[in-house]
Amino acid sequence: MDTSWAVITGASAGLGVAFAEHLARGGANVLLAARRGDLLEEQAARLRSRHGVQAATRAVDLASASSRADFVDEVRSLQVHTLVNNAGFGSVGRFHELEADRVAREVSLDVGALTELSHAVAGPMIHRGRGAIINVASTAAFQPMPEMAVYAAAKGYVLQFTIALWEELHDTGVRAVAICPGPTHTDFFANAGDDGVLAQRRSPEQVVATTFAALERHQPFVVDGMRNRALAFANRFAPRSVQARVAKRVLRHS
Ligand X SMILES: NC(=O)c1ccc[n+]([C@@H]2O[C@H](COP(=O)([O-])OP(=O)(O)OC[C@H]3O[C@@H](n4cnc5c(N)ncnc54)[C@H](OP(=O)(O)O)[C@@H]3O)[C@@H](O)[C@H]2O)c1
Footprint on this chain of ligand X (rule: CB under 6 A): 10-16, 34-36, 39, 61-63, 86-90, 109, 136, 138, 181, 183-184, 186-188, 191
Active-site residue (options: 151, 157, 188, 212): 151
Q: Is 151 a catalytic residue?
A: yes
Cβ proximity to ligand X: between 8 and 28 the closer is 8
What's the farthest any 2 CA atoms get from each other in the chain?
A: 56
With b for 16 or more beta-carbon neighbours within 10 A and e for fewer, the 24-52 pattern comes to beeebbbbbbbbebebbeebbeebbeebe
Instruction: For strands 174-180 and 4-9, give the pairing.
Output: unpaired
3-class DSSP assignment, residue 201:
coil
The residues near 58 (Cβ < 8 Å, ≥ 6 apart) are: 31, 32, 33, 40, 71, 74
Residue 130 C-beta: closest distance to ligand X, Å: 25
Q: Please name the amino acid found at residue 36.
A: R
Cβ proximity to ligand X: between 191 and 206 the closer is 191
Cβ proximity to ligand X: between 30 and 52 the closer is 30
Supply the DSSP symbol for 134: E
CB 62, CB 40: distance < 8 Å? no
Residue 172 C-beta: closest distance to ligand X, Å: 25
DSSP line for 19-63: HHHHHHHTT-EEEEEES-HHHHHHHHHHHHHHH---EEEEE--TT
Catalytic residue annotation: 151
